Amino acid sequence: MKVSCRKKIALNSKKEAIVIPVYKNMRSIKQLTGKRIDDEINRIISSDYFNYKEKEIKSFYMEINKKLKKIYLVNVPKELEEYRYYMELGSKFAKICRQDMIYSFSILSFEDIAGEKKDFDHIKSFIEGIYFGLYEFSYYKSKKENYELEEIEVITSSTKLKKYMDTYSEEIKTLFGYVYKAKDLINYPAGDIVPDTFCRYLKKNLPEGVKLTEYDHNELKSKNFNLIYTVGKGSENKPKLAVLEYRGDSESDKSIALVGKGVTFDSGGTNLKPTGSIETMKTDMAGAATVYAVVSALAESGVKVNIYAYLPLAENTIGGAAYKPGDIIKSYSGKTVEILNTDAEGRLIMADALSFAIEKDPEIVIDIATLTGACVIALGSHCAGLISNRKFLAKNISDISYDISEDIWELPLYEGYTDRIKGKIADLQNISTKKREAGTTIAGLFLREFINNYPWIHLDIAGTAFLEDEHPIFGSNASGFGVRLLYHFIKKYYTSG
């Protein structure tokens, strides 16, 4: 999708529609639309046809240069709202575009309509909402809808906004290309995305500049990645560890470590999940899909940063070779772990990957995982959990999450619960014996055992990665949550230019 800018609506434009934000008693906008269109808009919004309901969108046809052109009037507040308001509006309008088969349109910028031009993230948020609203997973449909929005033209009197959109439109397109790929990976059935096919997908879809190294199950065993190996050994689809390397800043020795949980299907193992909890467990590799997308978007955009990303991939299944409660496993770090529940497998594979990640002496370690049902109980499906061992990191990433409408909430890394992961016959145990208490914090404390006090952010996306009910921005099914959040966080705080 192309995004362009123009200072005034062109009456000879080939765009199929014009989108005009309006509010009650709106001032004249003829400097952007011309007198004839301005007069017609004022007539419509003064009539009973327009009700000024929140996010109301009404349309009519107008003859311009002997051609009928569709005009959409969108009710907006007079004063600029939070960015999420415009993302929701964009997602809603994308569905109208698909329904009405609109392939291109012009839109007057919200900043121009409100007369406020301190920043231009409102129209940018609308465009990002459009991208979310346009996504459709149709890979398995025999009849595929052949629709694609081709161009959005932003009408603005501001040369700064034009420059801003010219700068960021290509970046947004690249970023959402990988948001879509992450969503696709999460939406694929578990039978089609197993550790091996995930790695094959990486080989085919990594951009130039990203190096892939794979460790198969034999190498996992020989190199003492015993937690990853053990979680996946019960499946005929054997576990793997994929490592992505992007060196975007050759002048720096600093690097970032990203770790994404990649359980391609989680049956719960010997502690089998019940009906109602197992059906969507193809999504338990959302952390790995997110990390792949973040690294790829940074690389394709040419961001100056060095990243090592670790994707532990395994199927957690039942069977004669599957691990069992009571097993004790020596981790890559050397610490031993007693298994009290095989359905707490994500923290196990993450632990080995985290131990491996800190060997590169990273500036920061960030992990993202669909880790605990407790996080869903605490925060629901619209908000992810955040745990960090540095307060400034928690604040920095929380500020970005607010601006881009990917909501996170910090949960405590409460020291008083540390004893709950200490083992009686091993160094650690993978769950607390105190049932139903502070499950997300317990998981965070377990992961912390493997990072050696490096600056660390943990994101639990168990609720946000896959949405069974419609979200006003992200829709339903795979959300792509976390790709934009980590991309913007890394770009803002960890790049050299």
For residues 43 and 443, give the distance between their C-alpha atoms in angstroms, rounded to a whole number: 60
User: Mean pLDDT for the chain?
Assistant: 94
Consecutive H or E run containing 30: helix 30-33
Average pLDDT rounded to a whole number, residues 171-183: 97
Read out DSSP for 179-224?
A: HHHHHHHHHS-TTT--HHHHHHHHHHHPPTTEEEEEE-HHHHHHTT
For residues 72 and 57, give the distance between their C-alpha atoms in angstroms, rounded to a whole number: 7
Encoded amino acid at 126, one letter:
F
Stated pTM of the model? 0.96
The string of pLDDT tens digits covering residues 274-329 is 999 999 999 999 999 999 999 999 999 999 999 999 999 999 999 889 999 999 99
The verdict on whether 2 is a catalytic residue reads no
For residues 378 and 436, give the distance between their C-alpha atoms in angstroms, rounded to a whole number: 12
Q: Where are the alpha helices (DSSP H) in 301-416?
A: 346-357, 373-379, 391-404
The verdict on whether 347 is a catalytic residue reads yes
Lowest mean per-residue pLDDT among 185-189, 319-323, 477-481: 319-323
The catalytically annotated residue of 124, 162, 282, 347 is 347
The catalytically annotated residue of 6, 92, 117, 273 is 273
pLDDT at 11 over 80: no
**Across 255-369, where does the E strand assignment appear?**
256-260, 262-266, 306-316, 328-330, 336-338, 364-369
Residues β-bridged to residue 75: 22
C-alpha angle 252/255/256, rounded to 5°? Answer: 150
The string of pLDDT tens digits covering residues 193-216 is 999 999 999 999 999 999 999 999
pLDDT at 357 over 70: yes
Beta strand pairing call for 456-460 and 306-316: unpaired
Average pLDDT rounded to a whole number, residues 157-183: 92
Classify 283 as helix, strand or coil.
Answer: helix
For residues 359 and 339, give the distance between their C-alpha atoms in angstroms, rounded to a whole number: 25
Q: With cut-offs at 50, 70 and 90, classify the pLDDT of residue 497.
A: low
C-alpha dist (Å) from residue 253 to 301, 307, 490: 20, 11, 16
Q: Quick check: 230 and 272 in contact, CB under 8 A?
A: no
The string of pLDDT tens digits covering residues 143-154 is 888 899 999 999
Q: Quick check: 430 and 337 in contact, CB under 8 A?
A: yes
pLDDT at 353 over 80: yes
Closest CA to 412 of 377, 388, 435: 388
For residues 135 and 150, give the distance between their C-alpha atoms in angstroms, rounded to a whole number: 14
Closest CA to 378 of 421, 418, 408: 408
C-alpha dist (Å) from residue 151 to 4, 14, 128, 453: 8, 11, 13, 48
For residues 273 and 267, give the distance between their C-alpha atoms in angstroms, rounded to a whole number: 6
Beta strand pairing call for 151-155 and 67-75: unpaired
The string of pLDDT tens digits covering residues 22-65 is 998 888 888 888 888 888 888 888 888 878 888 889 898 988 87
pLDDT at 230 over 70: yes
Could you give phi then psi for residue 459, rounded to 5 degrees? -115, 120
Token pair of 302 as six digits: 């040419």
Average pLDDT rounded to a whole number, residues 114-123: 85
Note the residue count of the chain: 497
